[in-house]
Amino acid sequence: MGRLGYSPASFPPLSVTGIMDTRSFRNALGSFATGVTIVSGLDGAGKPVGSTVNSFNSVSLTPPLILFSLARETSASAQHFGVGKPFVINVLAAGQIDLSNHFAKRFDDKWTGIPFDVWDTGAPVIPGALASFEGLVTANYEGGDHIIHLGEVRRMLVNEGDVAPLLYFKGRYAGVAHSDK
Ligand SMILES: Cc1cc2nc3c(=O)[nH]c(=O)nc-3n(C[C@H](O)[C@H](O)[C@H](O)COP(=O)(O)O)c2cc1C
């Protein structure tokens, strides 16, 4: 038994591969469980846009910075998060799978029939989200086939209730299981 309370033998056999094709790289990255967000913004005409995104991450506390990355080719939204543009990161609750699937598809007028609030920038804030962070994009970085969008948060709302998060793990939605440790 190791120091952390498990024996190496209790792990399932490792799959070791030196062949890093795109699919196996993507599958391996799926080992990193994440939350699920919908990032919303506005297009050039002021119409709301939005995309399901799990590449959201915290960056800095002072100043309050976050990042998300969007696929240059396959995300129609990516072009709308230039420097100075607004964004809202809506962190989804377990009961919002349908919303996640809706915003993971590519089509116009995704917001038709979807209720949303508006704060300072006009970018949609989704009611019932676990947390929402509104701000402005401060920098964009080349990230291979993705664009890394860095944003400064100006306003946020946190649901302090006992609401479970929506998780994504190995290409599937999942739920949280709390540990007493
Ligand atoms: C759980 C989940 C997470 C996703 N995360 C991302 C992401 O971080 N970046 C990205 O570009 N696409 C991501 N996608 C795919 C986009 O949601 C999808 O390409 C969508 O069509 C983009 O919408 P848009 O074309 O309106 O921007 C994710 C999809 C799912 C289901």
For residue 3, pLDDT over 60 is answered with no
Pocket test for ligand 1, best of 38, 53, 87 (most atoms within 8 A of CB): 53
- Quote the CA–CA distance of 175 and 164 in Å, as a whole number: 8
Beta bridge partners of residue 139, listed in sequence order: 150
Where do we find the tokens 């709390």?
178
For residue 20, pLDDT over 80 is answered with no
Residue 21's pLDDT is what? 85
**Ligand 1: distance of its center to the CA of 60 in Å?**
24
- Quote the CA–CA distance of 73 and 117 in Å, as a whole number: 29
Residue 178's pLDDT is what? 86
Atom of ligand 1 nearest to the CA of 71: 11
36-171 homologous superfamily: Electron Transport, Fmn-binding Protein; Chain A (2.30.110.10)
Q: Is the distance from CB of 35 to CB of 174 less than 8 angstroms?
A: no
pTM of the model: 0.91
Residue 121 Cβ inside 6 Å of ligand 1? The answer reads no
Domains in the chain: boundaries: 36-171
The pLDDT mean for the chain works out to: 92
Write the CA distances from 4 to 12, 32, 179, integer angstroms: 17, 20, 15
